[in-house]
Structure 1
């Protein structure tokens, strides 16, 4: 499949599974705790099953890696990376800042990514060389060059897993115009569409980040892990517009990688 076809496929499966999750939103679903201490609901599981069924029916030789049901056909040439509800804690609280993430990759290369935000009706989709599309129109990161006029975002400012990174975050937020915790994938939506300049996460799984790298890059931004390496699989993430990329990472204490 060409890049445009993969973008369309990623968008379709994100929309289908996200709409399934939306059907459970604010319906008082029961919450369970997974082995890693994170919450899960029937909405997460049903939405991922929907995505898997869609992929299996159309691309039966492809692999699938999902947050809720693990990996299928790990040796496959092409794989789909799924996060049915990115921001489950937000979902549980009835806050509409969660999304559904779908990425397609071959080897270490991400071929397309889609991020769907069902409660607010926003869709982002991108593929290398194809641009980043927001609700059917091309979108770009902001051109803001001054931290003092920037909006910076983080999922959880406590930095419980990597407290040393909290020092950098506090320095960055002090230099910014506005600092908010509009986190999880919603923060990356704001960066990709030019409404925020920085989004940072201390801890990211592959299904959290894979769709976001092409979205940020095709919108003209920079996506790295906390070491400054261009990757969606470094366990952390910093997304910025292009003009602030270097200065933001310096303030955060992120080193410039290859």
Structure 2
């Protein structure tokens, strides 16, 4: 359960209790919920949760040479909105699409793979790869360079389906493009799948260590950081328990 959902439910419970003989407990719960709301919305709590994720992998070092391939994880395009409006809708994490377009220009011989289907459990013909491809093409990536993986529903399937699709050869160097906060889990999953990739983090939500001590007057930003971080930490724990990663918080491989 994410923080904003939990706080809403606690608030509802406190109101209900105050209408019963447990009114005293309801008032205490309401006060506690208000304090938690303020901490989540305006304190650096979300940044404290985000920082270990975003700082885990440094920016990619281009001095190591040109990559053979670039893998772009989905998560930017809203497939349902895109299907409803018959055009790609990118509500967040646009860097996941901007960065590979720049990399494609810089490394004209690298293969470009976009991996992302539909996260809906119910069958859905709207696939993220189908809506992301035109964005990449309009940004200058030639259609013939694009390899689309349309069936994956989560990061685990991103890794396993992409490995099957491109059949990486020993010695090839592949970049993995995804949001910085998501990179530890993504790298751990690709490693567990036997696909050796190099981290290319994008879409940072924090500026750096200074943000660990910064309060905000924007409640949406505070809740947003906390929710994103909480979801990712829950995902890391779940994937570790399922054996889909080898570590709770994967980090850079030792040379």
Give me the TM-score of the superposition, normalised by structure 2. 0.28
Quick one: higher RCO (CA 8 Å, sep 6+), 1 or 2?
2
Name the structure with the higher helix share. Answer: 2
Name the structure with the higher strand share. Answer: 1
| Structure with larger Rg | 2
Give me the TM-score of the superposition, normalised by structure 1. 0.28
